[in-house]
Structure formats: C-alpha cells, structure tokens
Amino acid sequence: MFKYFGIIFAAALLFGAGCATPSNDGNGSFPPDWSANQVTTNLPIYQPIPTVLPAVKTNPPPVAIRTNPPVVVKPVKRPPILTWTSLNRWAAENKFAAPRRAANGPTVNYSITSPRGTMILTIGSREAIWRGLELHLGFAPEIIDDQVFIHGLDLRKNLEPLLLDEPLTFSSTNRIIVIDPGHGGVAGGTISTLDKRPEKEFTLDWARRLKPLLEANGWRVFLTRTYDTDVSLSNRVAFAASHRADVFISLHFNSSAPDHKQSGLETYCLTPVGMPSTLTRGNPDYYSQIFPNNYYDELNIQLAAKLHGALLQANGEEDRGIRRARFMGVLHGHRCPAVLIEGGFLSNAREAEKIETGAFRQRLAEALANALK
C-alpha cells in the first residue's frame, strides 16, 4: 500500500490542491486584487491585515504533527456496515417514515425525511439532494423487491451524519480555524479567462476578507499564507496541525478550460475508505487507502453541507454539489474536519467577471463566516 502513497503524493503535488492548473502565463507578478476600487461602496471595504500574525513569513518548515485532540467528535456506536441496506428497514429502525416515491418524472426518486431534513435519492444515480443541495453519493441506490436499497457506506458516511447525527458544533471558546488560500508564488493555480489573472490572487483576497469576519465571530484564525508565496500541500497540513486547528478550509477557484461553459460551486471533502470518489482528475482512486482525515468522515460531510449551502446563495450559480475526492493532498492529513471549496469557475467568462470583483469575494467571505457562527 505504501507505494500508492508515493504515487498519490506525487500526483497531488502535480495537480495542486484541487483546481485544474494551467501553467502560469509567465508574468508571475500581478497586482494585489483587493484594492478598494473594486469594492462597491455599500460593502465593507477590505481592511489590510496587520502583519502581527504568527503565520508563515516564508514557506514554513515541516512541523511534526502533534495529535490534535478530536474536540468535536462524539463517537456513536453503530452496527457494522452492511454492503446494501434496505432504506425502509433503516427508516423503521430509526423511527422515520418509510421512503416515499416522488411524483412520476423522467427519473425514479424517493425522499426520506428526518427531523434534520429531507434527502431525495434517485434510483440508479449517485446524485442525491440534501435539503435542496446536490450531494454526490458513492453508489447509486437500487430498487430490490420494491424497496430502496442503499450502500452501507453511503448510509454510514452520508445519510446518517446528515439525517441522524447531532449537527456539527464547535466549542464556544478558543475555536481555531485555519484558512488556506489555494496556490501562491510560482504556483498560480488556474487563470481567469478574461485577463489571465491567476487564481492565487483571488483565493488570498477571499481569505483576507474572511479572517476579520471569523474573528468577529470568536474564531482564532490562521492563514496558511498571508502574501504571494508558494506553500507545499504537506506544509499547509502541517501548519494546521501545529496550530491545533479545529477546522481547515482550503479556498480555490475552478477551471474547466478549454470548456468555458461550466460554472458554479463545488465543495469537496475526503472520500471515505471503500467509496469511489466523485472526482479523480485522472489520478488513481484506491478505495482501500486510509488517511488520517478519514477519522472525520462524518464531520467532514456535515461541515461541507453547512458551508456549501451558505456559499451557494452567495455564489448564485449552478449547484455542482458536495463532492468527494481522494487525490487532493491538502485534505489527507488533517486531524480535524477539512473541506476544499471551489468558489466558481475562472474559465467561465461570466463567472470570472464576478470573481474578479471584490464585492463577490466579500459575499463569499460573509457566507462562510455566517455559516460558521
């Protein structure tokens, strides 16, 4: 198995933290994009952040990962995972109404409702809807003997955390969050189809807008980079560990170039062991791989759903779903819930135009901060 780690690690380095990553246009020096002339007057103007942070000044040296106490994990005793489970039986065991067949349409849909919300499952499709949000399952539900059957891993890692478990909460004091502005320095990320400005500018600005908003909500906030510098993915993970982060959020913008049509929001968390990923970007997707962050599978999906819902309203574009990926090296090693957000497509001219405005990035920052109140 260890040989796979090498492959995955190399692939993660190659592909960056999540975005399609065309090479930098070679310019390499771009003006900061949080200048006031891009901020509409009815929105808070970005305040420069004082440089007193104990955050990285240069690439941080690798830090020994200390064991971060799992402050928000509430272990729940559950029976072993069965490969396929009758959703009718599961609903009865948990005292929910049986799944209900939705009105006839081009697809066969069933809904199941708990006090926490409604999940809509489509037979033969991995795309489900949770409280109106697109959620990508590991396996397509099936009908067997007139009952909905769902894969045990989806039940355990998707349905139960959302429909059954206590919602995600954080301690009211001394909450620590690490915000990771994607890319930086020579690693520009993808580029805007409008003017080739690099993703790294927009992710840093998003993070810098987010920081004071989170601090106002009582979070201690650390940024993996506070200026235009390249930080390795493993150092971003080590940085979160050394700061004993309770939450890690990596910020990115997306690209589907040369396809310029795709737009919208994607939120990623690590794929649970045994489950196929939603996205592989051509990387191997070894289902048996176990990463430290898999300990937080249930909290990851709760965090992803919470943030995705808030961001979708701010983004105002297509819901491309809460997704799973195994190749994103920036998610593997965290000892806390961790997600990666693709806040929009820089390869789509209409969406890039929005992303290039400070007002839009402010909206994304405010949405995240409100979701983490």
Site string for Zn ion, 53-72 (x = CB under 5 A): --------------------
Taking CB under 5 A as the criterion, the residue among 19, 135, 328, 339 binding Zn ion is 19
126: its two tokens: 């991995």
Cβ–Cβ under 8 Å, residues 272 and 294: yes
* Between 19 and 304, CB nearer to Zn ion: 19
Q: Which residues contact 274 (CB under 8 A, 6 or more apart)?
A: 138, 153, 287, 288
The amino acid present at 69, given as its one-letter code, is P
Q: What's phi and psi for 325, nearest 5 deg? A: -145, 145
Query: How does DSSP classify residue 163?
Result: I
Chain residue whose CB lies nearest Zn ion: 19
Q: Which of 227, 193, 181 is nearest to 361 (CA)?
A: 181
* Between 19 and 163, CB nearer to Zn ion: 19
Which one of the spans 18-26, 54-62, 285-293, 331-339 is the region binding Zn ion (CB under 5 A)? 18-26
* Between 110 and 345, CB nearer to Zn ion: 345
Query: CB of 190: closest distance to Zn ion in angstroms?
Result: 6
* Between 189 and 309, CB nearer to Zn ion: 189
- Of residues 84 through 143, those in contact with Zn ion by CB under 5 A are none
Site string for Zn ion, 180-209 (x = CB under 5 A): --x------x--------------------
* Between 162 and 204, CB nearer to Zn ion: 204
* Between 154 and 199, CB nearer to Zn ion: 199
* Between 86 and 347, CB nearer to Zn ion: 347
Cβ–Cβ under 8 Å, residues 212 and 368: no
Q: How many CA atoms lie within 13 A of 18 on its CB side?
A: 33
Binding residue count for Zn ion, defined by CB under 5 A: 4
Q: How many CA atoms lie within 13 A of 236 on its CB side?
A: 32
Respond yes or no on whether the N-terminal peptide bond of residue 276 is cis (omega within 30° of 0): no
Query: CB of 268: closest distance to Zn ion in angstroms?
Result: 11
Q: What's phi and psi for 124, nearest 5 deg? A: 80, 5
Cβ–Cβ under 8 Å, residues 19 and 199: yes
Cβ–Cβ under 8 Å, residues 294 and 273: yes
Which one of the spans 15-23, 27-35, 256-264, 269-277 is the region binding Zn ion (CB under 5 A)? 15-23
Taking CB under 5 A as the criterion, the residue among 252, 306, 335, 361 binding Zn ion is 252
Query: CB of 252: closest distance to Zn ion in angstroms?
Result: 3
Interface positions with Zn ion (CB under 5 A): 19, 182, 189, 252
